[in-house]
């Protein structure tokens, strides 16, 4: 199934810890399974002619979680970004990687590995994959405003859009949230002003090609008027 005029999908990947709990496994095993699903979704989306994906991987609010959870999650991210097989799977899909968010809060080693992965993917053009890490929609708008004020740039909608983390790509037409919750949770607040929202009870590690097709099919049935 093709997404028609659908070019950009955002994903709020919820339900990883619940998925692990139902299997009497550690929470991090659920996040590990979720990362693998994300790579499968990249491949499936490319096959459906989607050009842009944005995955909400770690929010600015997640820094408020217990230190043990944060350390375990950062270690998990380090492992996957350093995993040649995992990254190669993304690269083989023709994906260009871009990290968005306040990366200054991440460890220097994790920043280095992320930068290396971005550099390795620079020549890929089939699909752009944005990973939102240490990201929050409100924080992005504040950082953008601070940058524009420092540069003396007028605050217009066009100028703000041109200086966001996502500058240069279309806003998401569709945002998919798994795990049964019905909210954006500070994800792409500026860009999502007219996004279609799709919520499913399916937990992220169980999200597959069939679930992606369900969301795309629902999108194609909706009439988008942009407030007109």
- The three state secondary structure string of 205-219 is HHCCHHHHHHHHHHH
- 227 part of a folded domain: no
Interval 51-90: pLDDT, tens: 999 999 999 999 999 999 999 999 999 998 887 777 888 8
Q: Which residues contact 144 (CB under 8 A, 6 or more apart)?
A: 160, 163, 164, 165
pLDDT at 224: 85
Q: Which residues are catalytic?
A: 14, 62
- 3 part of a folded domain: no
- 77 part of a folded domain: yes
CATH of the domain at 70: 3.40.1180.10
Domain enclosing residue 45, as ranges: 8-221
Q: Given the DSSP bridges, would you call strands 8-12 and 174-177 parallel, antiparallel or unpaired? A: parallel
Contact indicator for 159, 126 with CB cutoff of 8 Å: no
- 154 part of a folded domain: yes
- 175 part of a folded domain: yes
- 73 part of a folded domain: yes
To which H or E segment does residue 135 belong?
strand 127-135
* Angle at the Cα of 132 from the Cα atoms of 197 and 49, rounded to 5 degrees: 60
Q: Residues 117-145: what's their mean pLDDT?
A: 97
- 22 part of a folded domain: yes
Q: Residues 164-192: what's their mean pLDDT?
A: 98
pLDDT at 140: 98
pLDDT exceeds cutoff 70 at 4: no
Interval 105-121: pLDDT, tens: 999 999 999 999 999 99
- 200 part of a folded domain: yes
Is pLDDT larger for residue 88 or for residue 29?
29
pLDDT at 223: 86
From its phi and psi, is residue 102 left (phi > 0), alpha (psi between -120 and 50) or beta? beta
Interval 180-201: pLDDT, tens: 999 999 999 999 999 999 999 9
CA dist., res. 156 & res. 143, Å (int): 15
pLDDT exceeds cutoff 80 at 36: yes
pLDDT exceeds cutoff 70 at 2: no
Per the structure, the count of domains in the chain is 1
Kindly give the interhelix angle for 84-92 and 27-47, rounded to the nearest 10 degrees.
Answer: 20
């Amino acid at each position: 199934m093709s997404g028609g005029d659908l070019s950009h999908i955002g994903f709020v990947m919820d339900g990883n810890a619940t998925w692990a709990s139902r299997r009497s496994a550690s929470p991090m095993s659920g996040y590990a399974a979720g990362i693998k699903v994300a790579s499968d979704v990249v491949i499936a989306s490319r096959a459906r002619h989607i050009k842009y994906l944005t995955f909400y991987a770690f929010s600015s609010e997640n820094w408020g979680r217990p230190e043990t959870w944060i350390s375990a999650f950062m270690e998990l991210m380090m492992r996957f970004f350093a995993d040649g097989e995992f990254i190669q799977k993304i690269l083989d899909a023709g994906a260009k990687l871009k990290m968005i968010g306040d990366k200054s809060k991440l460890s220097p080693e994790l920043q280095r590995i992320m930068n290396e992965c971005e550099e390795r993917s620079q020549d890929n053009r089939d699909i752009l994959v944005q990973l939102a890490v240490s990201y929050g929609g409100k924080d992005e708008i504040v950082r953008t405003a601070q940058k524009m004020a420092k540069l003396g740039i007028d605050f217009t909608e066009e100028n703000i859009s041109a200086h966001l983390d996502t500058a240069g790509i279309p806003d998401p037409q569709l945002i998919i949230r798994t795990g049964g919750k019905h909210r954006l949770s500070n994800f792409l607040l500026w860009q999502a002003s007219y996004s279609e929202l799709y919520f499913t009870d399916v937990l992220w590690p169980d999200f597959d090609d069939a679930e992606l097709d369900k969301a795309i099919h629902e999108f194609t049935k909706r009439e988008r008027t942009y407030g007109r």
